Structure 1
């Protein structure tokens, strides 16, 4: 129940409310009118934010962080806010992996041959994502992420084959547990030593 959005899709009033908040929030760099279509098309379900990341090898010095901090240090400061904010809303990383080679197929995207990592973030709903990014604390933390990156691409997708869904995993665990209990009970019933009451 906690893992599933029960609030339904965004209403028209909510769309306008969140767009206004995003326009007023420092650190939110999305084209507000471009994102309108995403919000208005909300179906109320979960989605995955695909993040392709190239870290800055020489990030600029930013307030609150010691000079010479690495991109990983800056991202860690950003995630200090993001992880708790996401987990409170049943949002979490679904996949993370470092790149093991350059791009092997590239069309129409100059200068995008090198990436460092890919991250998939599961959001319970569009509303949950908006609550996070319009939090005033997000603006300051987002500066750490921007400083840590040389370039990035992020876009939302609707999961069709998503076996990391915790509801699916929990279902498999419960089925496995029931099967084991059934085997134990069946084994006791069929135990040949349990012959009391049988006349031979």
Structure 2
């Protein structure tokens, strides 16, 4: 039995993954930036919290590559009012109203959490900064491209979802980064190796069946 078709299927599966995971459209064009900024201004409920000029500057510097957004978050330690019902609920439960919408939308555009960590101690090195506001979480989110970030920010469907974030998180800040050293393997590596391993084991199994 010819079992080499297994590798064709493996390559096709990995190709589909790369088609989703990698930005193949290149950097943003000037007209795209103008259109996205107009949509962000029209639909983004964060207009009073974020400077549109900062967003535009980041988009204008687009190189078409992936980046990672570092987020420091302080989740309220007390119950907060649910934006929909007004009922007092734990802040983490209220924040779920945002993450339930945001994470699936991020995943559809090739993004995902790279690291999510809970703070377990106070500042060790700290100078020239405000006192520790008792940060709760650190998130490191992978974005496929700056275009994908802008499309997510401009999406009017997030208007109501942001209310949950604002209610649950009295303090936060974030900024985009690009890793200089990354010890954790990218999905492009570990998923490719996993697909290759499955293909190799499948081929061996088919050869053993053929011998029997």
1:112 counterpart residue number: 132
2:186 counterpart residue number: 165
Distance 1:108 1:130, change over 3 A: same
Structure 1 unaligned residues grouped into runs of 5+: 189-200
1:144 counterpart residue number: 164
1:87 counterpart residue number: 107
Higher helix share: 2
Displacement of 1:133 in angstroms is: 1.4
TM-score normalised by L of structure 2: 0.78
1:195 counterpart residue number: none
RMSD: 2.3
Could you report, residue by residue, the CA deviation over 1:52-99 in whole angstroms, capped at 9, with x for unpaired residues? 111112354243145121111111000111122111111111111111
Cα distance in 1 for residues equivalent to 2:105 and 2:144? 12
Displacement of 1:178 in angstroms is: 7.5
Contact 1:106/1:113 (8 A) holds in 2: no
Which residue, 35, 49, 61 being the options, matches 2:81?
Answer: 61
2:31 counterpart residue number: 13
Could you report, residue by residue, the CA deviation over 1:7-26 in whole angstroms, capped at 9, with x for unpaired residues? 11111111111222222224
**Number of residue equivalences:** 185
Structure with higher Rg: it is 1
Displacement of 1:159 in angstroms is: 2.8
1:127 counterpart residue number: 147
Structure 2 unaligned residues grouped into runs of 5+: 1-18
Displacement of 1:161 in angstroms is: 3.4
Displacement of 1:144 in angstroms is: 0.7
Displacement of 1:176 in angstroms is: 5.1
Distance 1:166 1:31, change over 3 A: same
Cα distance in 2 for residues equivalent to 1:103 and 1:17? 41
Could you report, residue by residue, the CA deviation over 1:101-128 in whole angstroms, capped at 9, with x for unpaired residues? 0111112221335211111111111111
